């Protein structure tokens, strides 16, 4: 396929490289000067998008997505696939999809799970929203860049799935860290707690696969001085998107709200910025319960 790729950052660059390695022709554009081996450089988003079979975007947020959509939709070929893999608010995803459909394109919102490692290794999970035809067009590309793609429903359903997943992830990480701090206070050995919880009903991905306690469980960012991994500020972004969506949908999400304010505090007033989201454990190590 002839593919335009806009947003060649930490995630976009390796994803575009994997499309090239699979034999596709890729023309890329980024606001900053980025070059990716095998990806032709376009001077503008419009140039990257004009006349392609599929245009992919991997951008920081909904505002960037809306701005790029305004630039590229007028020059894209009718019937072109428009696959946005950024994590953005559900409202922006739906608005851009409507705009794209009105212009005769096939839009898919397809945020990913798996981080930079998954993008590089081609093992991402894609959660997609859009029509059957749009998903069918994008699916072969998902198969190159990832190991699984789930068609979640109509436009916006991919973003909805992503923020539900990450709300669970954020809240679960916090309670896992709380439990380690409680174990410390009770004189319970961390390894023993892991041995019990990881095989009992309190088990979770954060405990079993991404344990926040250094030296316990399989290798994770906690064993590398909390170098991300998945940065705390990205977790905060996703928890904010979840609360924004919960507000719009009238959903009651008290633990999601508490997780968002704890990560906001950790990133903005604590020492979480630039560290893995599992470094939250140190917040509980430092702080004791108020009397």
Residues carrying an active site annotation:
162
Q: Does residue 90 interact with ligand NAD by CB under 6 A?
A: no
Q: Does residue 41 interact with ligand NAD by CB under 6 A?
A: no
Cα–Cα dist 127/152, whole Å: 6
The candidate with the shortest Cα–Cα distance to 86, out of 77, 97, 75, 98, is 97
Q: Does residue 75 interact with ligand NAD by CB under 6 A?
A: no
Cα–Cα dist 84/81, whole Å: 10
| Binder of ligand NAD out of 4, 12, 81, 212 (CB under 6 A) | 12
| Binder of ligand NAD out of 41, 75, 103, 116 (CB under 6 A) | 116
| Binder of ligand NAD out of 9, 14, 46, 122 (CB under 6 A) | 9
Query: Tokens standing for 276?
Result: 């893995």
Q: Does residue 275 interact with ligand NAD by CB under 6 A?
A: no
230-to-128, 236, 237, 259, 274 alpha-carbon distances in Å: 21, 11, 12, 16, 9
The candidate with the shortest Cα–Cα distance to 56, out of 25, 32, 34, is 25
Smallest separation (angstroms) from ligand NAD to the CB of 148? 14
Q: Does residue 115 interact with ligand NAD by CB under 6 A?
A: yes
Q: Which stretch binds ligand NAD (CB under 6 A): 6-14, 199-207, 250-258, 280-288?
A: 6-14
* Between 230 and 263, CB nearer to ligand NAD: 230
The candidate with the shortest Cα–Cα distance to 159, out of 133, 132, 127, 119, is 127
| Binder of ligand NAD out of 21, 67, 196, 209 (CB under 6 A) | 67
Q: Does residue 94 interact with ligand NAD by CB under 6 A?
A: no
The candidate with the shortest Cα–Cα distance to 139, out of 154, 155, 128, is 128
């Amino acid at each position: 396929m002839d593919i335009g790729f806009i947003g060649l950052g930490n995630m976009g660059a390796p994803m575009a490289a994997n499309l090239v390695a699979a034999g596709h022709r890729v023309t890329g554009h980024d606001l900053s000067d980025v070059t990716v081996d095998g990806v032709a450089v376009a001077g503008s988003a419009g140039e990257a998008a004009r006349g392609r079979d599929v245009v992919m975007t991997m951008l920081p947020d909904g505002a960037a997505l809306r701005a790029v959509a305004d630039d590229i939709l007028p020059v894209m070929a009718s019937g072109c696939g428009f696959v946005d893999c950024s994590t953005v608010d559900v409202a922006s995803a739906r608005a851009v999809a409507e705009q794209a459909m009105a212009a005769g394109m096939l839009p898919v919102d397809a945020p990913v799970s798996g981080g930079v490692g998954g993008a590089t290794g081609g093992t991402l999970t894609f959660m997609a929203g859009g029509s059957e035809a749009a998903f069918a067009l994008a699916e072969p590309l998902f198969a190159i860049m990832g190991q699984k793609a789930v068609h979640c429903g109509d436009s916006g359903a991919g973003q909805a799935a992503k923020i539900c997943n990450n709300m669970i992830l954020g809240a679960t990480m916090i309670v896992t860290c709380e439990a380690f701090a409680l174990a410390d206070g009770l004189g319970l050995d961390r390894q023993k707690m892991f041995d019990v919880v990881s095989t009992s009903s309190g088990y979770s991905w954060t405990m079993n696969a991404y344990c926040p306690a250094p030296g316990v469980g399989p290798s994770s960012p906690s064993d590398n001085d909390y170098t991300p991994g998945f940065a705390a500020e990205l977790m905060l972004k996703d928890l904010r998107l979840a609360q924004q969506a919960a507000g719009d949908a009238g959903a009651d999400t008290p633990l999601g709200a508490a997780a968002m304010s704890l990560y906001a505090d950790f990133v903005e007033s604590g020492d979480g910025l630039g560290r893995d989201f599992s470094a939250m454990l140190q917040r509980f190590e430092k702080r004791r319960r108020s009397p």
